Structure 1
């Protein structure tokens, strides 16, 4: 049986150069050179063309005295407020906190508003603030896609189809005829995905119908009828596509326009005109030539640049690289007859294109190394609007087969684990869990992980803050720092370290969910309270996370505003979110420095649920949510597939209902229990043919068919 594979050669030193950038060209079409660009041959533009990340200073000195919780909670002033199971009480005593599952909290604001009305002290968590950012990230991307990007994509597609038809008429009868015809089909598929009523040009009617049928049926891994058209290809030379990727997921299921946009952008993001095929490269050159005409390049850039700001630069070769190479080989103002002349210039172009850098991440199903040893040649090529490089996908790439080999049982690591990401970012606890679960037993895994850790530890702030995706990961990094002397006692345990890992994975899952269309996915090788009650609460003291979150919100607001992609309502909401993060940073600093909070600060904690509800309503307003009664149809729970084993499985990451956390916290010299909300997180493999949507995941949750929580969470979760 043939096995499907993936590129493994990844030079870490090169990765540093690749990841220091986030765009390809500016609105003017001019390419800005990064100092390192010459070394990798890739023209790029810095993220600062959108916005600059501005650090928020943090100032505190942790000075809290250690404390222990009495076995009977006798030194806790409000123990009578809570009825915990014996198991939960035991963990509360041992660790100073406990997380308790809850099937009724569909959103964070519900729990915090319950605290206000009961009333009990609130424990404001980093989880709840990170979830707030996810809500607005998803909302802003959705609004921009519907209002700006989808209409622009429709116009660009129609223009490119017309240009391709003109090229075909001019090149008919030449060696370039098939390449030109392929492009008619390429843009006709996209146009049909965007608008099913559009007619298909007669020259490609049959092959377009075949592609659309595979897309509509989500037919899994199949030969692409269009891309292989007119070529004498055999066996491993054929281009395969995973048509299950076209199942709309993430926020793209909420609207018909977004579903169409998802499919068309997935088509543009995944289909590769491989350099190993001269005919496919001719198609890529014709697309590049057409894009240079009129205002086509500007239209392309209006889609590429905003999505680069959200997610990052394309991982594959694209218009800027091919445009530069064409101009260098043929000179500016190239004509079709120059291309079709069969001159030595074309040979020079093909030779130069073969020297361009391959993608870091492979998302093309390719054959096993015995059958297809030239992995780079199998995947290197041109994509019209290629999916984006992300650090976490690059980490996954390095830690699955064939970059790591079999374990002692002869098993291959076909799918990664979410914990690979925090482990690579320096979490010793994450690595220990992976080790205990046998994930590090594969040959080459420890060595590759060590290289990743060294590389990531050396990244500077400019790299971490190049776009919003990277900035989100940078915001999560403080969750991986262990808490020492001077921090509240409940934060100085292995249990809390694992709780923070859970928070990291869940927020990262939201990031993957929100960017599922753009971020490249790896393919492993196949083969108001009651009077008289003291309900003063507490903020989970993580000043660095709140500071980075405030800076990320600021970068989001200023970047989108600079391109006229933000209305006043959303700007006001982001202002409020930034100020809330800054307030929580200040409260955290005071808590850790043992400085009393003001009445206004305690009131902010007390009213936190109302603020969360406001943000929730604003973030869902574009899909018609205007009242909390819509919570059952719009819960926090979501799911995203993040990696593929073409043997038939995908790795699903999911968040579920909001669990309750009870923490024993010091307030004014005494101990009390405060209650807050934290993520629940799930990781499991699932059939490739049935990549889960949020709706299907909600059905699994509500029917009790959700997979079990990770075993390592038992150190802090009790029923």
Structure 2
């Protein structure tokens, strides 16, 4: 029987699949899947996953190596079209495929169109579908961020800034008052990033504006953070958090450069996603013990008051959607801090409890028992000297156990590389 050679525009890549199945002789069966409802906002989007059952007959014709070109009916056309040299023909015969330089194209689909127009049989590899899936996801995420998430994070920023200011004015204990003050600064930076125009912006977009004023008691820190973000020069000590932050990360990239609204959204979400409420302080830690206590109170205030201000639903919405697109948070979240607070203090929690040293130790002990990040996110310029070992990495990760408001996401390539 004469065989045909197929043009493969791209070499297949390994991808992980959520499908599971079994192969019995010449049949592959995949069982149907329907996910149950999940309450935890970290995984809530998985509730919508479903997969219909599938049965495939595996009956594609095989071939023996090395290939006998005399039995390949379209070998001449393939050889002429791709201008195969003798070395390439030899590899094709030996392996059943050969990799050649097709040249540069701007559109991934264009190569397939060319092959189709020339009458070349085509095998569409999995990486092509994965890339098109990525493009579709990227455009969908861009649309959601512009239409929905920008206003959602703006609402959250306003509500949390107002609540933090109210806390600052009402707290009398020095620890609680300073934590509230720093939270005012934290959310005011987010508000400024969402409302401040980029250099050269001509005002052509319909971007929602809100009236607010940075309070005098945080203006110096807010201005310092905004200057560092705009300069994006690299590691510099954070005026609010006290550790070295990598401000080079705040340069918009990808689809976030395509509109003013997305540029502002990127900077604000980068701020909320990177700035860390560190749990550990003193000794060789990145911040002092006092600052760690303040950060723990800050994170506790935020976690509890997301509910009290009525914006927890919007926070969960943003988190669930972004988790679906880019993965779950690698850091601790307000949801986990709230769980820890409830376990330690039950339903009787009052913020004044945290002014008590014993209560603070109990809460920090509970939080310390929670998971550590698996990826170092750049907090505090933690350096690992050679020889590199897992123990040294774990030590660095433990030093950076934190809550982040919109935490850095766990993605496999960051974990591996």
TM-score of the superposed pair, with normalisation by structure 1: 0.44
| Aligned counterparts of 1:63 and 1:119: Cα–Cα separation in 2 | 21
Q: 8 Å contact 1:289–1:323 — kept in the other structure?
A: yes
User: In structure 2, what is the equivalent of residue 309 of structure 1?
Assistant: 324
Check 1:246–1:270 CA distance in 2 against 1; reply closer, same or farther (3 A cut): same
Check 1:53–1:46 CA distance in 2 against 1; reply closer, same or farther (3 A cut): farther
Q: 1:388 aligns with which of 409, 413, 417?
A: 409
| Aligned counterparts of 1:343 and 1:77: Cα–Cα separation in 2 | 83
1:359 aligns with 2:376: no
Check 1:57–1:190 CA distance in 2 against 1; reply closer, same or farther (3 A cut): farther
User: In structure 2, what is the equivalent of residue 76 of structure 1?
Assistant: 75
Check 1:141–1:65 CA distance in 2 against 1; reply closer, same or farther (3 A cut): same
Q: 2:308 aligns with which of 293, 318, 326?
A: 293
User: In structure 2, what is the equivalent of residue 10 of structure 1?
Assistant: none
Deviation at 1:290, TM superposition (A): 1.6
Q: 2:276 aligns with which of 264, 269, 272?
A: 272
What whole-Å deviation, never above 9, does each CA across 1:46-72 have from its counterpart, x for those lacking one?
A: 65423234454333045423261449x
| Aligned counterparts of 1:169 and 1:301: Cα–Cα separation in 2 | 28
| Aligned counterparts of 1:142 and 1:47: Cα–Cα separation in 2 | 18
1:244 aligns with 2:248: yes
User: In structure 2, what is the equivalent of residue 262 of structure 1?
Assistant: 266
What whole-Å deviation, never above 9, does each CA across 1:359-379 have from its counterpart, x for those lacking one?
A: 222212214469999535420
| Aligned counterparts of 1:47 and 1:261: Cα–Cα separation in 2 | 22
The SS at the match of 1:360 is: coil
Q: 1:51 aligns with which of 36, 49, 52?
A: 49
User: In structure 1, what is the equivalent of residue 3 of structure 2?
Assistant: none
Q: 8 Å contact 2:233–2:247 — kept in the other structure?
A: yes
1:318 aligns with 2:322: no
1:216 aligns with 2:230: yes
What whole-Å deviation, never above 9, does each CA across 1:109-136 have from its counterpart, x for those lacking one?
A: 2223333444444443333322221221
| Aligned counterparts of 2:244 and 2:188: Cα–Cα separation in 1 | 19
What whole-Å deviation, never above 9, does each CA across 1:484-509 have from its counterpart, x for those lacking one?
A: xxxxxxxxxxxxxxxxxxxxxxxxxx
Deviation at 1:179, TM superposition (A): 1.4
TM-score of the superposed pair, with normalisation by structure 2: 0.74
Check 1:292–1:253 CA distance in 2 against 1; reply closer, same or farther (3 A cut): same
Deviation at 1:76, TM superposition (A): 2.3
| Aligned counterparts of 1:113 and 1:374: Cα–Cα separation in 2 | 52
1:205 aligns with 2:219: yes
User: In structure 2, what is the equivalent of residue 528 of structure 1?
Assistant: none
The SS at the match of 1:385 is: coil
Q: 8 Å contact 2:43–2:328 — kept in the other structure?
A: no
What whole-Å deviation, never above 9, does each CA across 1:337-378 have from its counterpart, x for those lacking one?
A: 4444x2643332223222222222221221446999953542
Check 1:148–1:192 CA distance in 2 against 1; reply closer, same or farther (3 A cut): same
Check 1:55–1:214 CA distance in 2 against 1; reply closer, same or farther (3 A cut): farther
Q: 8 Å contact 1:161–1:184 — kept in the other structure?
A: yes
1:112 aligns with 2:133: no
What whole-Å deviation, never above 9, does each CA across 1:376-407 have from its counterpart, x for those lacking one?
A: 5420121111122233433x2xxxxxxxxxxx
Check 1:62–1:79 CA distance in 2 against 1; reply closer, same or farther (3 A cut): closer
Deviation at 1:246, TM superposition (A): 1.3
User: In structure 2, what is the equivalent of residue 7 of structure 1?
Assistant: none
Q: 8 Å contact 2:273–2:408 — kept in the other structure?
A: yes
| Aligned counterparts of 2:105 and 2:94: Cα–Cα separation in 1 | 26
Q: 8 Å contact 1:275–1:281 — kept in the other structure?
A: yes
Deviation at 1:155, TM superposition (A): 0.8
Deviation at 1:328, TM superposition (A): 2.7
Q: 8 Å contact 1:158–1:191 — kept in the other structure?
A: yes
Q: 2:239 aligns with which of 208, 225, 232?
A: 225
Q: 8 Å contact 2:384–2:396 — kept in the other structure?
A: no
Question: Structure 2 unaligned runs (5+)?
Answer: 1-36, 198-211, 281-291, 387-391
User: In structure 1, what is the equivalent of residue 257 of structure 2?
Assistant: 253
Check 1:356–1:95 CA distance in 2 against 1; reply closer, same or farther (3 A cut): closer
Deviation at 1:147, TM superposition (A): 1.5
Q: 8 Å contact 1:207–1:225 — kept in the other structure?
A: yes
The SS at the match of 1:227 is: coil
Deviation at 1:77, TM superposition (A): 4.9
Q: 8 Å contact 1:50–1:309 — kept in the other structure?
A: no
Q: 1:348 aligns with which of 357, 362, 365?
A: 362
Q: 8 Å contact 2:376–2:397 — kept in the other structure?
A: no
| Aligned counterparts of 1:330 and 1:286: Cα–Cα separation in 2 | 14
Check 1:175–1:390 CA distance in 2 against 1; reply closer, same or farther (3 A cut): same
User: In structure 2, what is the equivalent of residue 166 of structure 1?
Assistant: 166
Q: 8 Å contact 1:69–1:76 — kept in the other structure?
A: no
Q: Which residues of 2 match residues 145-184 of structure 1 at below 5 A?
A: 145-172=145-172, 174-184=174-184
The SS at the match of 1:82 is: helix
| Aligned counterparts of 2:73 and 2:358: Cα–Cα separation in 1 | 88
Q: 8 Å contact 2:196–2:264 — kept in the other structure?
A: no
Question: Structure 1 unaligned runs (5+)?
Answer: 1-24, 33-43, 229-238, 397-415, 417-719
The SS at the match of 2:75 is: coil
